[in-house]
Structure 1
Amino acid sequence: MDSLRQKLRPKHQLLILKCYPRLPKNSAADVKPNGSELSYLLYYASTRRSKLQKVGSFLERKTEHDVYKAQSARVLVTLQILTALLENKVVGEGSPFALIAPYVMRIISGILQNTNDISLLEATQITWSVFCKHQDQAVLAADHEYRELYEKVVGQYAEFAHKAGAKKLGKNTTPVPIHDGIRLREIGLHATKSVISSDALAFESGRQLLTIAIPAVLSNLRGDNAAYLEHLVQLSKQNEDEEKDKAVNRRQSMATIRTHTGGERTSADVDPRAAEGTAQDADKLAEEGVALLALGCLKAAFTSENRAQTRSAIISVLRYLGDLQNYRRPQTSEKAASDQLVDSWAVKAFELCTTWTPVQDRFILLVTTVETLVHLPLKERDLRQHVLYATLVDSVLRSDLNLIGLSVMDVLLGLIQQTLRVLQYSGQPTTTAPSGDDLRPTTSSGSGVGGTVPSEAHMGLIDNLKACIADLATHVYYTDQISDMISAILMRLKPSPAPVGQQNPVATAAAIEEPRSAVNEVASNASLSARERPNSTSGFFSFDTARQLALELVRDIIKVANSSRARNSSGVADSRNPVHITIWEGTQWLLRDPSADVRMAYANALIIWLELETKKSDFRLDVCKPSPRKKAHEPTAGAPANGTTLARRAVSNASATKDRVQSNATKKTSSQQTFLQLLHLANYENALQFAATSPRDIVMQSTLLATLIKRLGINAVASGLPMIFALQEEIARVESPVGKVRIGTLVHGYLWALVEVFDFEQESVGKAILQEVARRKGHGIWVREVEYPPLPLHSIKNKMVSNQGEKVLAEQVVAHEELKAFDDRQGLVDAVLEHYEATVVSPAPSAPGSPGRSFTLPTTMDRTGSYLTAKPLPDPAVLGKSRDAMMKRWTREDCLAAIAAMAPKSVSLSGSRSSPTQVLAAAAAAAGAGNHRTLLAAANMGQRNENG
């Protein structure tokens, strides 16, 4: 009967059955298919492609029967037959592979689902690895049923690989022992690594598998803190080094090679940690091996040069880390500290993923994380995820990893928008905040939206976002990056934002005179849609807390850009351009902001800029000579014609370059003068307004003015000293005795700084100033915090309230007229200029011109070394102008008129572009009449006309 049944079988079934050797049931021997029969089966399958489906169908039915009957040996032979078919050059490629692939996956899936033998599960790894290498991407993308079957098998392996939950075999309901569970996780990780390393992830249809594989891999890497991951990375490197050493070892001599006689292995052949300790120690060692395997899987997901795969992988990682944060919610304050350690593990995992990614693709991880953060709803339950993602971004930004290709400005704007969202909706934690252009602030003043103060949790998130923005300055990849970053922030603080170099000084002056109107103007800009906003400056800092935060961002960016960390990172931090003074044009009104915290933040940011971004050459006077006429370089009539055209062309190009450089220097000098004049105007108005009520503002102004003298020298004194003497004249008209004392302190504090900076303590004028300062201190009519060197602003108390004794003492002193004014202005100016000339360093001798030149060309071009370029030796004419400026009588009206005269000629403040002269005259008249509201209206109208 058996022989008859064999004769009636189809040929493919006979060939398959002949491949199985004769073995006892459940034999433990190392079974293999019969070699000659297997070769003939492969030949038959490669020449009869139409029979592949029948071969697969028969093997599927036979495997299902053998698994049910627990015929493990036969199942092992079946898996080897499938492996041989897949490795065949004909069957393993193209359409033949597509014919047999579904049967292979169903066979493997059936074994994973039904067998109770772990050895069978381990045997499927080889077949699955070969299957993944030969995966047909076209079929995977086109055949929906085939893709679902593939995802099912991947999911089964991922379930084995996942660390959470008890492991079970087949239909059993009893969990397997710990050591068997570790073996199952190894099986799942090996299979998962085969999937990640295959070409299936190069296409969209295959990248969805990462959402299944990545969580299983990361679950095996979970540890208490970042030290666990660092330990695994170190072990992985040691293993790689040992494998390299084994690969390069030469064949050992027979005289020294060790032989194995069948006895026990020596200690050198096994891990010494496995030879000692208990079974639990052995399980820990096995766990370590599984973790190393998982680390290799995660590394394989990010070492690919496929950017789409990298993006999908990091999205899966972020989703897992975010879910992990939601599961670990500390219920008490004691658990909060231990929960922070989990964040360190997540940060280290993210850093490893970034490190493994090819250097040209690392920016993808950062950009994807920022996008995920921005699109995450602002709900209380998601706040921990916000903090986590911000921490991940900051950890990479503050590192020395090369992030070439990163769009710094896009990331900056995204983080600014997110920071504003958190600020605006921190008072409504249960409301989902809209994103983008739907943001609408509800008020333009107060600590936050609607006058609410952000909660502690929201402030923690804001601090993380601030750190991200500041640490963007660690990686500088073009020379003007820091300037662009600061400009993008400051532009959102200006009442009438415009590109750098096009600010209307009249509008700034009007904002200084009417700061509350300027605040409303910023709020009105924020309420416009993105298309209606000037220059598309979305995300205005339209309320007090936002403006304070923006200025703190500017301060932190400058600090980070000048830190050693930025210089040691990859990029052009050492050769970047310094932040130019024109960046600050239009922001002087912030010194007059209604909020004291905003005023302090602005002064602090400006002082940090002066200390870190200015150079020693900025202390010298500016000199901008007119460019020489081209006629001076033209050859005479008797000059030879040979080379005349070339010489004329070279002279023309050189002159054009020099003219362009000098033109830029002239513009920078004009911007410097305008900025300093408006800044001193803001100081003047502040001193009169807050002298009687805010000692904190007086100390802040004294520190700022002293820093201006120290860093900019006569460039700042030229407009600052006349303002100080005008302020001294105002003391007699101040009604409050305390205000008189504080303004007097500000005036003599400025004079004290002049004495110290220009070093004329031994001069009679210097002695007089220092004696008056000492006398006022002795009589208690001096603000104690005003010193030289000035105190850091962060050391100034938030609230400096004068006591009643100070008020009584001030009234008595003023009644006895003990506030002596300083009147030797001429001697002071002479001392400043004399000691300035004495401290100027002589210039280095210029290099001689090259011999044999047939035309005159400058050997070195005049270049602007910084934004306040200065010649080593001042011109007497320039010194004369500086003397006149310092001796000039200063009034508010004259300052406003001078500012109006320096306004761009192409801007019409009255709405007409054709009559700039009349407009300037009207603006000057409005300023002279003290009509600041009219000036503000004119400035706003002119800005609207300028924007079209």
Structure 2
Amino acid sequence: MHFPFTPNHVQLIAACYPPNAALLISGSEYRPNSQELSRLTYYASNRPGKINKLSGELERRVRTDCRKAQAGNLRARASLLISLAIFKALAMECRRDISLLSSSLLASVNATLSALRSDLEVAARAASVFTAWTTYTDGRLIGVDRYVTEEYMSCLQIFTHMGKIDSETTDHEVKHRTRLLGLTVVLGVVTSEALYHSASQFGPQISTIVPALIIPMLDVEVSILEHEAAAIKGQPLSPYLDGFRDKPALERRARSIHLHVDGDKGPSSSEVANTAIHALSILLGHSVAMQASVIMRAIFDCLDDIGGWEKVERCEWIATKAAEWTQYQYRYTIPSRLAEYLVEGQDAPHSIPRHRTLAAMLTTVFTSPTHLINLTMSDIMSSLIGVILRRIAIQADDPLIPLLVECIGSLGTHIYYTDQIQDLASELITRLVLVEANGLGTDKATNDRCRARALRCLLASLLGLIHAADKHDSGREDTTDDTRSRKAGTGSILSTPSTDIHIKPSRRTKVAPEIWQETLTLLCDADYSIRADYAEAVVSYLKYEVPKHGDHVDSDGVKRARPLAEGPARQANTLSSVLYGDSTTSFLHALHAHLYVLATSSVLGISEESPSSTPQRSENGDGANGGNREAPPESQDNSRRSTTVPPRSRKTSVMLQAIQSTSRSLSPSTSSEKSASLSDYANILAVLTAVQECTPVRGLLTGVPMLVALDKACSAETNTDSTYSQRVRVIKELLIRVWLSIGSIWRCTELIENAQKALESTNAVLRPPDFEECRPGAIRPPQQPISLSILDEKDTPDIHLNSEAMLNALASSVNIQEATGLDEQELLKRFKALWTPELILKDSMEMQTSYDSLRHDTISSLVKKAPTLMQIENMSLQSLTRSTRGGVGVTDLREALEGRSSLSNPNLSNRAPSLSTLEHTSTFAQGEPPLVRLTPVRSRPQQRSKLNSPSDVRDVLNKLGIGKQSGGNNLKPSFPFQKNESRPKHMLCNSTLLIGFLLSAVSLDFGRRGHLFHTVFLRY
């Protein structure tokens, strides 16, 4: 009945409702009158100013009906359902003015859910209204209008609570329906501008939404999650949703949310998980880096609240899919946040499931096929190493540590530039050197144990990193032979060496020997478990990582250098590197020196007392092996070691002093626990065998002199001590087995016969260790050594080893002569050369330093290459080796040419001075305030020669020894410059070669500077 003074908008709304008597029989759909509803929506869409009045009247009706329906009034419940349907119709038709409807609509939905949350039919109708609003809103009111924001967050919290409901009293069908209803609303929110428009409100919304998405995933098996995730790609819509908002707001269709038909089979847990997976994938797919970080933090908080860290497999799956669903350029956020959250808990007294699950999630992300870009591998690895060392310092046997080691190894599966693995390995080795020299800074009672644990973990991480990179490298052929070759074990010495496996060129740079050489002191560490693990590591490095230029296998099974088919220049370069040394040769020299010390020294370990009777001082004032016998106990504490001297310098000094006492003869051992054990000699055998098998040419030239020196050390003096005789007996068997290995590799029959004859005269006690049992990157329990004391005196007969016959057999081998290009006399000269560990170690250090300079100095590279092409004596090369600080060199020539070109290029001649802070002291210097603002100052002008004309360039060339020479010039040419008709042709050729080298050194482009350069030279 219409009253005469009733406002028009109230009459339009009232006409949409059936009569009161027909409310209960209006059907299960509870729809408003369609004709009157059309009139109402037409009125609202054409008169936006009336929307506030219409929405206000509807809100009043909703609140009244909610209060009555909560008391059990069925008519009020029916009226409420119709009011919500009218709200949805207004939201869809007035989408352009949805902001005018937002306040009343959200308030009505909130009131309905607060009063009748358990009524799924009413909640579904409210969800349809709310989803219609999220479909068309632009989100501008969220965070701006406080009332709208509060009502929106209240509705969102109620729906997300429905999505994660887990009541034991509710049956599964009702629970799944409730969850599906809440997740359907969340699915509408994650594609709405209401979530993304306000940066300040994004975090609170995500904290509310994420638990509703994570909990349903944790309740199903991983196989179901995989199946539903795959189904989303082919069928992105849920069967309970119609339409998807992939269009602009005004062209979108609001989802129609309804409940399952009674009597049919209700939704299953997999269908609920499907909706949750769908929502989370959309959420991450729409997020940038900052938003992805917020989402990951919300996931971590949710797992903390519900105790979800115990479900490791599901957490790993979520982390992997999070990285996959995130946009390509923002995927790095996922592992970065995992690592950060792991670092936050590194100081906990005990590791908890959260820490272990985070490490497993991080490993899974790295080992997944998902590509990750912009990821700072070095920072992540530094963080993980820090966590490992911190956990070891707190609890050495923490179960989290093996997971972290595996996580570091998994970093090798993502290679984005060629030197990445080498850089990561270099950083790992640097930390390893620091821990070896300084320990972990704990008290003396626990430092040794923590130090050993830390070193073994870092070694396992290093091996895992390299092996993971090789496994990931697509250039390596995946064959059964390759799988076999990855095992870090040594086969029988008597077996025929197998042919090298064909490997395509790797896309990464191998770890350089000069980098690995820093770790060789671990061979002589005081702890046997470290020595054993490092022996395995160095064998693996020799087999799969060390450069093997020139060491190949021919079809007959003999390892020799490649024939001249590769080209004479390349063959000459290979032979030169093999005979005169390269980085691999330097590494092998240092390796043999350390093995010699391990085999002969009476006291092992750089932190032990000096083996010499008179304590010697190292560079940092410590004893020869890290301590002075007369020093007070606190001076020997590892936690008090001086950190002012670099660990590498300290290790080198200590190692050189330790070598001095073992360079001539076998030292009598005062304690079997401090010297090499029977297990150590087995490890030495494995390493020496790997050297000969993997680098046969270099291993032969570097290893045979060491074997001769070791044999002389055992025969230098006699000692009646039983321990001494046992060591001599084991070392001689070691030598025999290495000789036998060399003979088998080079097919030297005479050598094999002599070695087998010597081996038959003794009882074999050495057995190469089986390194195949340990998976790379895994930490095995610390090994216990087998002492020499288990040998009886009758098991130590006098072994006669004729080294002279061994050397003669080697030198007369045709295969060796072909591989090295040396005759028998030259080979004998090299094999019998003076060899001491001190001399060899110093030489290898000098070679390593020279490699560093050659790698960064173009002039040194020129000096290295010039004698190869200029066979005659040319003293003018001395001018290239002199320092250019006090004279003139190639740098001045480059500056002269650049200065000339800058005259015609104002961009080169007028350069703005750079800003520098080099004249300021460090802000971290002692005594300085921590926050001192650096005032930029102009850098000093560069000392450049003022050579801007061709005559100045000619003068520089004359000073370099090229051109006409003046009488007072200190740099004399190698030959006098004469007239063209009288100049020897070979000198002209050599001058041309030198000019070519200079052109290469100054990196000239044949433009303006090249023309000037040739003009000057043509005058001569």
Q: TM-score range by the shorter chain?
A: 0.5 to 0.7
Are residue 190 (structure 1) and residue 98 (structure 2) matched?
A: no
3-state secondary structure, aligned to 1:220 = helix
Q: Select 1:20's aligned residue among 13, 17, 28.
A: 17
CA distance in 1: counterparts of 2:131 and 2:82, whole angstroms = 17
CA distance in 2: counterparts of 1:393 and 1:112, whole angstroms = 40
Q: Please report how far the alpha carbon of residue 710 of structure 1 lies from its aligned counterpart in structure 2 after TM superposition.
A: 0.9
Are residue 799 (structure 1) and residue 784 (structure 2) matched?
A: yes
TM-score, length of structure 1 as denominator length: 0.66
Note the alpha carbon deviations across 1:170-221, whole angstroms, 9 max, x for none: xxxxx77664444332221211111122233334313432222221233223
Q: Please report how far the alpha carbon of residue 69 of structure 1 lies from its aligned counterpart in structure 2 after TM superposition.
A: 3.3
Does 234-243 or 222-231 show the bigger shift?
234-243
Asked whether the 8 Å contact 2:134–2:188 carries over to 1, the reply is: yes
- What amino acid does structure 2 have at the position aligned with 1:289? E
Partner of 2:875: none
Taking a change above 3 Å as real, the CA distance of residues 668 and 212 of structure 1, as seen in their structure-2 partners, is farther
Q: Select 1:822's aligned residue among 772, 792, 803.
A: 803
Partner of 1:146: 148
Q: Please report how far the alpha carbon of residue 830 of structure 1 lies from its aligned counterpart in structure 2 after TM superposition.
A: 1.0
- What amino acid does structure 1 have at the position aligned with 2:786? V
TM-score, length of structure 2 as denominator length: 0.62
Partner of 1:129: 131
Does 39-48 or 54-63 show the bigger shift?
39-48
Asked whether the 8 Å contact 1:420–1:541 carries over to 2, the reply is: no
Q: Select 1:696's aligned residue among 679, 683, 689.
A: 679
Partner of 1:895: 840
Asked whether the 8 Å contact 1:706–1:750 carries over to 2, the reply is: yes
Asked whether the 8 Å contact 1:731–1:740 carries over to 2, the reply is: yes
Are residue 424 (structure 1) and residue 393 (structure 2) matched?
A: yes
Q: Please report how far the alpha carbon of residue 573 of structure 1 lies from its aligned counterpart in structure 2 after TM superposition.
A: 9.6
CA distance in 1: counterparts of 2:350 and 2:454, whole angstroms = 24
3-state secondary structure, aligned to 1:585 = helix
3-state secondary structure, aligned to 2:418 = coil
Taking a change above 3 Å as real, the CA distance of residues 758 and 907 of structure 1, as seen in their structure-2 partners, is closer
Partner of 2:767: 785
CA distance in 2: counterparts of 1:64 and 1:577, whole angstroms = 72
Note the alpha carbon deviations across 1:379-425, whole angstroms, 9 max, x for none: 35651110111111222322333334433323222222221221121
Asked whether the 8 Å contact 2:346–2:387 carries over to 1, the reply is: no
Asked whether the 8 Å contact 1:79–1:123 carries over to 2, the reply is: yes
Partner of 2:207: 211
3-state secondary structure, aligned to 1:783 = coil
Q: Please report how far the alpha carbon of residue 666 of structure 1 lies from its aligned counterpart in structure 2 after TM superposition.
A: 11
CA distance in 2: counterparts of 1:327 and 1:230, whole angstroms = 19
Asked whether the 8 Å contact 1:408–1:472 carries over to 2, the reply is: yes
Are residue 677 (structure 1) and residue 646 (structure 2) matched?
A: no
CA distance in 2: counterparts of 1:213 and 1:394, whole angstroms = 27
Taking a change above 3 Å as real, the CA distance of residues 419 and 897 of structure 1, as seen in their structure-2 partners, is closer
Partner of 1:472: 411
Taking a change above 3 Å as real, the CA distance of residues 829 and 327 of structure 1, as seen in their structure-2 partners, is closer
Asked whether the 8 Å contact 1:33–1:81 carries over to 2, the reply is: yes
Asked whether the 8 Å contact 1:155–1:212 carries over to 2, the reply is: yes
Q: Please report how far the alpha carbon of residue 899 of structure 1 lies from its aligned counterpart in structure 2 after TM superposition.
A: 4.7
Note the alpha carbon deviations across 1:697-743, whole angstroms, 9 max, x for none: 11111110111111111212222211211111111336411111122
Q: Select 1:400's aligned residue among 362, 369, 372.
A: 369
Asked whether the 8 Å contact 1:703–1:791 carries over to 2, the reply is: no
Note the alpha carbon deviations across 1:102-128, whole angstroms, 9 max, x for none: 211110011111136432221122211
Q: Select 1:297's aligned residue among 265, 271, 279.
A: 279
Asked whether the 8 Å contact 2:381–2:408 carries over to 1, the reply is: yes
Note the alpha carbon deviations across 1:600-622, whole angstroms, 9 max, x for none: 22221111122123576442689
Note the alpha carbon deviations across 1:401-453, whole angstroms, 9 max, x for none: 33344333232222222212211211xxxxxxxxxxxxxxxxxxxxxxxxxxx
Q: Please report how far the alpha carbon of residue 306 of structure 1 lies from its aligned counterpart in structure 2 after TM superposition.
A: 3.4
CA distance in 2: counterparts of 1:377 and 1:519, whole angstroms = 22
3-state secondary structure, aligned to 2:219 = coil
Asked whether the 8 Å contact 1:718–1:886 carries over to 2, the reply is: yes
Gaps of 5+ in 2: 70-75, 244-259, 479-503, 553-559, 603-665, 775-779, 854-924, 926-1020
Note the alpha carbon deviations across 1:628-647, whole angstroms, 9 max, x for none: xxxxxxxxxxxxxxxxxxxx
Taking a change above 3 Å as real, the CA distance of residues 216 and 74 of structure 1, as seen in their structure-2 partners, is same
Partner of 1:885: 830
Partner of 1:922: none
Taking a change above 3 Å as real, the CA distance of residues 400 and 67 of structure 1, as seen in their structure-2 partners, is same
CA distance in 2: counterparts of 1:752 and 1:740, whole angstroms = 18
- What amino acid does structure 1 have at the position aligned with 2:454? A
Taking a change above 3 Å as real, the CA distance of residues 486 and 744 of structure 1, as seen in their structure-2 partners, is same
Taking a change above 3 Å as real, the CA distance of residues 876 and 768 of structure 1, as seen in their structure-2 partners, is closer
Partner of 1:774: 760
- What amino acid does structure 2 have at the position aligned with 1:798? Q
Taking a change above 3 Å as real, the CA distance of residues 44 and 786 of structure 1, as seen in their structure-2 partners, is closer
Are residue 79 (structure 1) and residue 84 (structure 2) matched?
A: yes
Q: Percent identity?
A: 20
Asked whether the 8 Å contact 1:523–1:542 carries over to 2, the reply is: yes
Taking a change above 3 Å as real, the CA distance of residues 672 and 613 of structure 1, as seen in their structure-2 partners, is closer
Asked whether the 8 Å contact 1:387–1:461 carries over to 2, the reply is: yes
Are residue 543 (structure 1) and residue 451 (structure 2) matched?
A: yes
Aligned pairs for 1:2-151 within 5 A? 6-22=3-19, 24-29=22-27, 30-35=29-34, 37-46=36-45, 48-70=47-69, 71-88=76-93, 91-93=94-96, 96-115=97-116, 117-151=119-153
Asked whether the 8 Å contact 2:737–2:755 carries over to 1, the reply is: no
CA distance in 2: counterparts of 1:477 and 1:800, whole angstroms = 41
Taking a change above 3 Å as real, the CA distance of residues 54 and 229 of structure 1, as seen in their structure-2 partners, is same
CA RMSD between the two structures: 4.3
Asked whether the 8 Å contact 2:811–2:817 carries over to 1, the reply is: no
CA distance in 2: counterparts of 1:614 and 1:224, whole angstroms = 48
Aligned pairs for 1:614-653 within 5 A? 614=546, 617-619=549-551
- What amino acid does structure 2 have at the position aligned with 1:26? L
CA distance in 2: counterparts of 1:305 and 1:697, whole angstroms = 56
Asked whether the 8 Å contact 2:363–2:406 carries over to 1, the reply is: yes
CA distance in 1: counterparts of 2:596 and 2:731, whole angstroms = 10
CA distance in 2: counterparts of 1:907 and 1:554, whole angstroms = 23
Asked whether the 8 Å contact 2:16–2:37 carries over to 1, the reply is: yes
Taking a change above 3 Å as real, the CA distance of residues 587 and 163 of structure 1, as seen in their structure-2 partners, is same
Taking a change above 3 Å as real, the CA distance of residues 310 and 786 of structure 1, as seen in their structure-2 partners, is closer
- What amino acid does structure 2 have at the position aligned with 1:185? R
Taking a change above 3 Å as real, the CA distance of residues 520 and 481 of structure 1, as seen in their structure-2 partners, is closer
Partner of 1:729: 712
Q: Select 1:719's aligned residue among 696, 702, 705.
A: 702
Partner of 2:816: 836
- What amino acid does structure 2 have at the position aligned with 1:725? V
RCO higher in 1 or 2 (8 Å CA, sep ≥ 6)? Answer: 1
Partner of 1:461: 400
Q: Please report how far the alpha carbon of residue 581 of structure 1 lies from its aligned counterpart in structure 2 after TM superposition.
A: 2.0
Q: Please report how far the alpha carbon of residue 477 of structure 1 lies from its aligned counterpart in structure 2 after TM superposition.
A: 2.5
Taking a change above 3 Å as real, the CA distance of residues 754 and 382 of structure 1, as seen in their structure-2 partners, is closer
Partner of 1:753: 741
CA distance in 1: counterparts of 2:170 and 2:842, whole angstroms = 89
What is the number of equivalent residue pairs in this alignment?
Answer: 702
CA distance in 2: counterparts of 1:699 and 1:33, whole angstroms = 90
Asked whether the 8 Å contact 1:589–1:682 carries over to 2, the reply is: yes
3-state secondary structure, aligned to 1:163 = coil
